[in-house]
């Protein structure tokens, strides 16, 4: 008679195996993704499966022709001590006895799917670079002298098929005590990056190590640094934290930091030290917040713009400040976290920095590409990450182009008369009644509009302190829609607009949003200068997008994705009224939230993704806006609201 047939779900992989074959063995032979840390010793419980064809009582009665061996001693003990969920079996203990269908639950898959909480619902497939392995090492023998490390390597080869290992000093020094304490059984954390030809031992524990491994996904922005502590097995974010980038004291924007480094000997090194110290502190804080040992953080992935990238690595960014804007390296960088002075991670932790796309388009844009995957898109997608610089990607399956555009900091509330960063007290939403020309607004930290009951009380603690980037964009767009501003961006006088809120300011006018009388706060106005600043910023953004569209010869895109923390707050309608983005049906404009941070998390969870992003970045066609004469033409035409010549048909009605 034939050997029993085994079918695994959800993979559908199947094969016949001699009766008595452990399920884990069958899974491995078929290439079914079934996890194991202990190598089948019945210790780690990572190999849990659910028999789904027939009934499988614990004490081996065969039902309906399907049976997975008798409940053996190892499983019984595991269940008694640790508790197995009902219906679950240990895949390494249960044996195939007759035809069976076996389900591998998501928790038992190494390459499990992690559902993203972000707006775009593409999932992350786990493929971590660092994993735990339990292994039994041969005891030393005087007659056949070999090092403990070599015997560890030998054991990993025979038991796990791992060809070659290396161990940095912090691990080598702990190897011998761990082996002896564990009675020649140890758990090792092995790391293999996408370009590595061998595994690195990052840590070693006597016996079976119960603990978890974590990684940090870090978005190093010029203003803020945000880190997400991520479980390297489940892909879940355990804790998040952010700090201001301490380099701000050397210059608000990137170019002023580049000039700081040019003007001050040792300036770059100073900025490097500042950002590394902040990252190290952040790592310690986030570990404390999550209640884990910082030593369990074995990896960190960084995304950042080119200047931050160089400063983090300790490379003087001077070349990025002048044409031809050469990067020190355009490939991803893998190194020991210790080389970045990150003392609060595991001493052997690894760091990975995504590749920069070009001298102006950084690893953060690469992370956006990884998160939004334009190279897989069927339709032509324009992805805009708005910050002090706008990074713009345009493409589909056929090709992807990238550029950056010097929008300046106006979209972040800087260079605006009442502007401020997005923080409690800042006006973030504005509406203007087209009939009465009266405004209403909402302030960060309160859910109420300014004309609603309780608004005064809700904002009493923060006060109304200014207007942030999304607030100024909405204000200007609403002013345009209410006829307070003409298509050239000029604010009309009180007579022209019919509202006393239009105040004369020298030869120009300003629109009063909030008089500050009731709350004793500042008067908040939108001045002619503010509108000019927004016009410059939005023209730069639009011109960058147009330049990429020219490059592939199209007049329209199929959809627009607004990325970045800021992108998440801009309303698509207002962005389009201003002509920040090319005309497209409003329902084709989506927000991707912090796509750069998501990209960092994907790279942290998946070696395959690291290889993929490197490939994508290499294939991206880079367009340099600074040297492109058409950029200037597009810029000038984009100055009008929404645009001097482009029709914007989707704004009608
Ligand atoms: Fe570890 Fe089965 S493989 S318990």
Q: What's residue 62's pLDDT?
A: 39
Q: Where are the domains of the chain?
A: 5-108, 129-206, 215-353, 364-409+534-644, 411-528
Q: Are the C-beta atoms of 543 and 631 separated by less than 8 Å?
A: yes
Q: Is 43 in the pocket of ligand 1 (CB under 6 A)?
A: yes
Tokens read off for 539: 């023209």
Q: Is 42 in the pocket of ligand 1 (CB under 6 A)?
A: yes
Q: Is 171 helix (H, G, I), strand (E, B) or coil?
A: helix
Average the pLDDT over each of 55-64, 222-231, 467-476 and give the range with the smallest value.
55-64
Q: Is 45 in the pocket of ligand 1 (CB under 6 A)?
A: yes
The domain 215-353 having CATH identifier 3.30.420.480: the answer here is: yes
What does the DSSP 8-state code read for residue 59?
S
Close Cβ partners of 545 (under 8 Å, ≥ 6 residues apart): 382, 384, 392, 394, 405, 557, 581, 582
Domains 5-108 and 215-353 share a fold: no
Taking 90 as the threshold, does the pLDDT of residue 462 lie above it? no
CATH superfamily label, 5-108: Beta-grasp domain (3.10.20.30)
Q: Hey, what CATH topology would domain 129-206 get?
A: Ubiquitin-like (UB roll) (3.10.20)
Q: Are the C-beta atoms of 233 and 109 separated by less than 8 Å?
A: no
Looking from the CA of residue 78, the nearest atom of ligand 1 is 4
- 601 C-alpha to center of ligand 1: Å? 28
Average the pLDDT over each of 133-147, 560-574, 575-589, 626-640 and give the range with the smallest value.
560-574
- 163 C-alpha to center of ligand 1: Å? 22
Mutate to test the pocket of ligand 1, among 88, 92, 95 (most ligand atoms within 8 A of CB): 92
Mean pLDDT on 296-322: 94
Distance CA 191, CA 86 (A): 34
Q: Is 487 helix (H, G, I), strand (E, B) or coil?
A: coil
- pLDDT tens-digit map of 341-375: 999 999 999 999 999 999 989 999 999 999 999 99
Q: Is 15 helix (H, G, I), strand (E, B) or coil?
A: strand
Q: Hey, what CATH topology would domain 364-409+534-644 get?
A: Nucleotidyltransferase; domain 5 (3.30.420)
Q: Is 34 in the pocket of ligand 1 (CB under 6 A)?
A: no
Taking 60 as the threshold, does the pLDDT of residue 121 lie above it? no
Q: Is 48 in the pocket of ligand 1 (CB under 6 A)?
A: no
Backbone angles phi, psi at 583, to 5 degrees: -65, 135
Instruction: Tell me which residue has its CA closest to atom 3 in ligand 1.
Output: 40
Confidence of residue 145 (pLDDT cuts 50, 70, 90): confident
Q: Which of 439, 419, 275 is nearest to 342 (CA)?
A: 275
Q: What's residue 55's pLDDT?
A: 54
Residue 10 half-sphere exposure toward CB, CA atoms < 13 A: 8
Q: Is 92 in the pocket of ligand 1 (CB under 6 A)?
A: yes
Distance CA 186, CA 99 (A): 36
- pLDDT tens-digit map of 275-288: 999 999 999 999 99
Distance CA 430, CA 537 (A): 19
Q: Is 46 in the pocket of ligand 1 (CB under 6 A)?
A: yes
- 75 C-alpha to center of ligand 1: Å? 10
- 48 C-alpha to center of ligand 1: Å? 8
What is the secondary structure of 567-622 as a DSSP string?
Answer: HTTS-HHHHHHTTSS----GGGEEEEESHHHHHHHHHHHBHHHHHHHHHHHHHPEE
E strand or H helix at 473: helix 469-481
Backbone angles phi, psi at 334, to 5 degrees: -115, 135
Looking from the CA of residue 134, the nearest atom of ligand 1 is 1
Mutate to test the pocket of ligand 1, among 22, 46, 88 (most ligand atoms within 8 A of CB): 46
Mean pLDDT on 614-621: 96
- With a pLDDT cut of 90, the percent of the chain lying above it is 67
- 39 C-alpha to center of ligand 1: Å? 6
Q: Is 188 in the pocket of ligand 1 (CB under 6 A)?
A: no
Q: Is 242 helix (H, G, I), strand (E, B) or coil?
A: strand
Q: What's residue 321's pLDDT?
A: 86
Q: Is 419 in the pocket of ligand 1 (CB under 6 A)?
A: no
- pLDDT tens-digit map of 597-611: 999 999 999 999 999
Confidence of residue 54 (pLDDT cuts 50, 70, 90): low
Reported ipTM: the value is: 0.98
Q: Is 36 in the pocket of ligand 1 (CB under 6 A)?
A: yes
Q: Is 444 in the pocket of ligand 1 (CB under 6 A)?
A: no
Mutate to test the pocket of ligand 1, among 43, 79, 132, 134 (most ligand atoms within 8 A of CB): 43
Q: Is 47 in the pocket of ligand 1 (CB under 6 A)?
A: yes
Mutate to test the pocket of ligand 1, among 47, 81, 135 (most ligand atoms within 8 A of CB): 47
Distance CA 279, CA 162 (A): 33
Average pLDDT of the chain is: 90
Looking from the CA of residue 39, the nearest atom of ligand 1 is 3
Residue with the bigger pLDDT between 253 and 484: it is 484
Q: What's residue 323's pLDDT?
A: 83
Q: What's residue 257's pLDDT?
A: 86
Torsion angle of the four alpha carbons 462, 465, 467, 468, in this order, in degrees rounded to the nearest 10: -60
Q: Is 411 helix (H, G, I), strand (E, B) or coil?
A: helix
Q: Is 639 in the pocket of ligand 1 (CB under 6 A)?
A: no
Taking 70 as the threshold, does the pLDDT of residue 627 lie above it? yes
Distance CA 614, CA 366 (A): 9
Looking from the CA of residue 35, the nearest atom of ligand 1 is 3
Taking 60 as the threshold, does the pLDDT of residue 209 lie above it? yes
Q: What's residue 64's pLDDT?
A: 42
């Amino acid at each position: 008679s034939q050997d029993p047939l085994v079918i695994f779900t959800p993979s559908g992989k199947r094969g016949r195996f001699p009766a008595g074959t452990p399920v884990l063995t069958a899974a491995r032979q078929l290439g079914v993704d079934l996890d194991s840390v202990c190598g089948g010793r019945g210790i780690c419980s990572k190999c849990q499966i659910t028999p789904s064809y027939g009934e499988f009582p614990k004490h081996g009665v065969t039902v309906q022709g399907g049976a997975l061996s008798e409940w053996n001693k190892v499983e019984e003990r595991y269940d008694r001590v640790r508790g197995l969920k009902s219906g679950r079996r240990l895949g390494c203990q249960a044996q195939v006895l007759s035809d069976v269908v076996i389900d591998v639950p998501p928790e038992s898959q190494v390459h499990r799917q992690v559902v993203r909480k972000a707006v775009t619902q593409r999932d992350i497939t786990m493929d971590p670079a660092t994993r735990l392995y339990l292994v039994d090492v041969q005891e030393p023998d005087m007659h056949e002298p070999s090092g403990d490390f070599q015997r560890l390597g030998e054991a990993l080869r025979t038991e796990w098929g791992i060809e070659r290992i290396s161990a940095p000093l912090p691990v080598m020094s702990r190897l011998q005590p761990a082996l002896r304490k564990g009675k020649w059984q140890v758990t090792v954390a092995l790391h293999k990056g996408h370009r590595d030809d061998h595994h690195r031992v990052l840590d070693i524990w006597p016996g079976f190590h119960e603990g978890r491994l974590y990684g940090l996904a870090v978005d190093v922005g010029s203003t803020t640094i945000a880190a997400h502590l991520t479980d390297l097995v489940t892909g879940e974010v355990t804790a998040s934290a952010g700090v201001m980038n301490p380099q701000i004291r050397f210059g608000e924007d990137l170019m002023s930091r580049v000039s700081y480094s040019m003007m001050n000997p040792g300036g770059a090194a100073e900025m490097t030290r500042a950002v590394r110290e902040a990252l190290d502190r952040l790592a310690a804080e986030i570990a404390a917040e999550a209640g884990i040992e910082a030593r369990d953080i074995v990896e960190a992935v960084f995304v950042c713009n080119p200047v931050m990238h160089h400063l983090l690595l300790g490379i003087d960014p001077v070349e990025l400040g002048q044409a031809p804007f050469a990067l020190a390296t355009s490939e991803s960088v893998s190194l020991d976290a210790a080389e970045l002075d990150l003392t609060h991670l595991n001493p052997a932790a690894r760091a990975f920095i995504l590749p920069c796309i070009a001298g102006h388009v950084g690893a953060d844009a690469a992370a956006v590409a990884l998160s939004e995957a334009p190279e897989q898109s069927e339709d032509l997608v324009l992805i805009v990450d708005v910050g002090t610089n706008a990074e713009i990607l345009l493409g589909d399956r056929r090709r992807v182009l990238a550029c950056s555009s010097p929008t300046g900091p106006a979209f972040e509330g800087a260079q605006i008369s009442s502007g401020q960063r997005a923080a409690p007290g800042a006006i973030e939403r504005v509406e203007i009644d087209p009939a009465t020309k009266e405004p209403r607004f909402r302030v960060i930290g309160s859910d109420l509009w300014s004309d609603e009951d309780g608004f005064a009380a809700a904002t009493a603690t923060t006060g109304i302190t200014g207007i942030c980037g999304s607030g100024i964009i909405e204000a200007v767009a609403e002013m345009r829609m209410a006829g307070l501003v003409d298509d050239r961006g000029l604010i009309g006088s009180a007579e022209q607009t019919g509202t006393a809120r239009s105040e004369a300011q020298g030869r120009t006018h300003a629109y009063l949003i909030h008089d500050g009388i009731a709350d004793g706060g500042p008067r908040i106005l939108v001045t002619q200068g503010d509108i000019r600043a927004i016009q410059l910023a939005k023209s730069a953004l639009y011109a960058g997008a147009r330049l990429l569209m020219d490059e592939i010869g199209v007049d329209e895109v199929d959809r627009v994705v607004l990325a970045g923390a800021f992108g998440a707050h801009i309303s698509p309608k207002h962005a389009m009224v201003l002509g920040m983005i090319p005309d497209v049906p409003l329902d084709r404009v989506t927000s991707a939230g912090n796509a750069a941070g998501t990209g960092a998390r994907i790279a942290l969870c998946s070696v395959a993704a690291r290889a993929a992003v490197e490939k994508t970045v290499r294939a991206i066609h880079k367009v340099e806006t600074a040297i492109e004469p058409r950029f200037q033409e597009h810029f000038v035409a984009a100055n009008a609201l929404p645009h001097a010549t482009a029709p914007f048909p989707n704004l009608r009605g």
